[in-house]
């Protein structure tokens, strides 16, 4: 992580995404599906309202992750059989910046979780048979790969919703 994590209050944010259940080994391939979302938005004349993200809905590191590859948009819209739409919930989020290769994000996530534990913060998360269900756990990809092809220089913002 870069610096000390912060707690920020976020407004609700409409978005469009594709959703998949993947293993940790398959997770990296989900990023290529962001092109589908950008193409879908472009075909409808909808501009992105922020950087792309992964939203982790359910996490079981040993089995499957239920993840959305998404893009924020300015206003709510209707999805279809290709792309889903929704709203990221408003609330308090613990955020931290990480610079480095996406394969190193696991360590940054562990650091953020440890920091929150030390601060006695409670996540918006609950157990399920299929893993941890998160109210909103995001990786926001702040670096444009076309502008910076060196993945070790990419900046990612971790943003995990806190229980209120």
pLDDT of residue 2: 79
Written as six digits, the tokens of 3 are: 């610096």
User: Hey, where are the domains in the chain?
Assistant: 2-161
How far is it, in rounded angstroms, from Cα 17 to Cα 83? Answer: 6
Over the stretch 72-101, which tens digit does the pLDDT of each residue have? 999 999 999 999 999 999 999 999 999 999
Half-sphere exposure of residue 21: CA atoms within 13 angstroms, side-chain side: 7
Of the candidates 29, 47, 8, 36, the one whose C-alpha atom is nearest the C-alpha of residue 162 is 8
pLDDT in the model for residue 161: 98
CATH, domain 2-161, list 3.30.70.270, 3.40.50.980, 1.20.1260.10, 3.20.80.10: 3.20.80.10
């Amino acid at each position: 992580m870069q610096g000390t994590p912060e707690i920020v209050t976020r407004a609700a944010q409409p978005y469009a995404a594709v959703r998949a259940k993947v293993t940790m080994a398959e997770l990296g391939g989900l990023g290529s599906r962001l092109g589908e979302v950008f193409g879908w938005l472009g075909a409808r004349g909808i501009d992105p309202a922020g950087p792309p993200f992964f939203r982790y809905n359910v996490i079981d590191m040993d089995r499957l992750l239920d993840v959305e590859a998404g893009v924020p948009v300015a206003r709510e819209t209707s999805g279809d059989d290709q792309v889903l739409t929704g709203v990221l919930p408003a609330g308090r989020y613990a955020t931290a910046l990480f610079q480095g290769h996406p394969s190193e994000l696991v360590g940054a996530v562990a650091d953020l979780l440890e920091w929150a534990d030390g601060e006695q913060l409670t996540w918006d998360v609950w157990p399920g048979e299929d893993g941890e269900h998160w109210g909103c756990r995001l990786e926001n990809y702040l670096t444009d790969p076309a502008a910076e092809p060196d993945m070790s220089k990419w900046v990612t913002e971790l943003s995990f919703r806190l229980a209120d």
